[in-house]
Every structure is written in C-alpha cells, then in structure tokens.
C-alpha cells in the first residue's frame, strides 16, 4: 500500500485507542465503513491505521484544514460510530489535532 504523505499546512488528526476486546467483528466492519465514508468527505487528504496485538491502535487522518476535520467529527454516521466506540469497543482513547509543519518520506529504490 502507499503510505499517505501529508503536505505542510494540512490538519492531522491522531486517534490513539485501547481496544476493549468486545465485538471485534463489529468493530472491524465499522472501522472499514468509516474509512470509506471519510474518504468521501470534503477536504479529506488521506488515512492510515494500525492496531497491534496488545490492542493499542493508532489512526491518522489528514484534512485540508481544521474545519474539514471538525465536520467529519460531527458527521452523523461518524458520531453514531464514536458513541458505539465508547459503549462497546474502546476502553480509552486520546485524540490530538495538529497542523503539519513539515513532512518527508522515503521508499526503497525511490528517487
């Protein structure tokens, strides 16, 4: 897969979560639905996520600006899923919203 590269001035939303272990299949389905829905929102610039065997997950989404990130947070499907996350899937989460100041990337055999 291609790793998303965030241009300067875009908004990064870093979502760190501890999975509860409850309803894993429901969680996986909802996570995929949210990833697809986010990609259709105005100002979407990219997404990547990882979850390790210890249940700690990190999801990073990139947005054109803070308003676009906030609009996605308040989107009705997303708000419902966030509520379900608190009710069932997560034991804890922490969110940081940040403005990208610089970025760089590397790939094997790249220029």
Q: Which residues sit at the interface with a copy of itself, rule CB under 8 A?
A: 1, 3-6, 11-12, 14, 16-18, 20, 48-52, 54, 56-58, 60, 62, 66, 86, 90-108, 110
Torsion angles phi and psi, residue 28, rounded to 5: -60, -40
Residue placing its CB nearer to a copy of itself in the complex, 39 or 56: 56
Asked if 56 and 82 count as a contact pair (C-beta separation under 8 A), the reply is no
* Residue carrying the six token digits 């949210």: 34
Using only C-alpha atoms, what is the Rg of the chain?
A: 15
Residue placing its CB nearer to a copy of itself in the complex, 6 or 30: 6
Residue placing its CB nearer to a copy of itself in the complex, 18 or 41: 18
């Amino acid at each position: 897969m291609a790793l998303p590269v965030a241009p300067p001035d875009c908004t990064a939303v870093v979502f760190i979560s501890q999975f509860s272990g409850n309803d894993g299949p429901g969680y996986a389905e909802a996570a995929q639905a949210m990833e697809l829905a986010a990609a259709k929102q105005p100002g979407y610039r990219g997404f990547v996520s990882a979850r390790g065997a210890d249940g700690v997950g990190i999801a990073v989404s990139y947005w054109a600006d803070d308003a676009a990130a906030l609009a996605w947070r308040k989107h009705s499907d997303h708000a419902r899923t966030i509520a379900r996350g608190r009710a069932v899937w997560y034991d804890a989460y922490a969110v940081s919203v940040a403005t990208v100041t610089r970025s760089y990337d590397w790939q094997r055999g790249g220029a």
